[in-house]
Amino acid sequence: MSLTDILSPSDIAAALRDCQAPDSFSPKKFFQISGMSKKSSSQIKEIFRILDNDQSGFIEEDELKYFLQRFECGARVLTTSETKTFLAAADHDGDGKIGAEGIDYFKNR
């Protein structure tokens, strides 16, 4: 399964266009534009599984900086500031990684 099996390719493209400039990425806005905020919890968990590059069950900071590239190969890398802000917002237990429930957090914002 790929992200385009769950999300519209045109919505993904629009979300990526919206955050092309460094330090312009907003997880909440990205989730809204890409259509992720409208998906069910089970669909969010499947998206999370696809984004979890090493299949550890968590998205760690090193994986998170490549978040946009998981949607499109040529997308930019998140800046250090964007990565830390994203991690802080979704890491509910402060362990330095995001579980599927952390990604689901943005769906409800």
Residue 58 counted as domain residue: yes
- 5 annotated binding-site participant: no
Answer yes or no: is 3 within a domain. no
CA-CA distance, 88 to 96, in Å (whole number)?
8
Q: Is 93 annotated as a binding residue?
A: yes
102 pLDDT band (50/70/90 cuts)? confident
91 is in an annotated binding site: yes
Kindly tell me if the per-residue pLDDT of 106 is higher than 80: no
Please report, for the domain that includes residue 69, its CATH number. Answer: 1.10.238.10
60 domain residue, yes or no: yes
Q: Is the pLDDT of residue 109 over 70?
A: no
**Residue 52 counted as an annotated binding residue:** yes
Summary mean pLDDT of the chain: 90
Q: Which domain holds residue 69?
A: 8-106
Is 104 among the annotated ligand-binding positions? no
Q: Which residues are paired to 98 by β-bridges?
A: 59
Q: Does residue 95 have a known ligand-binding role?
A: yes
Digit-coded pLDDT (tens) for 14-25: 999 999 999 999
The verdict on residue 20 lying in a domain is: yes
Helices 100-107 and 27-34 cross at an angle (nearest 10°) of 70
Nearest CA-CA partner of 43 in 103, 95, 96, 85: 103
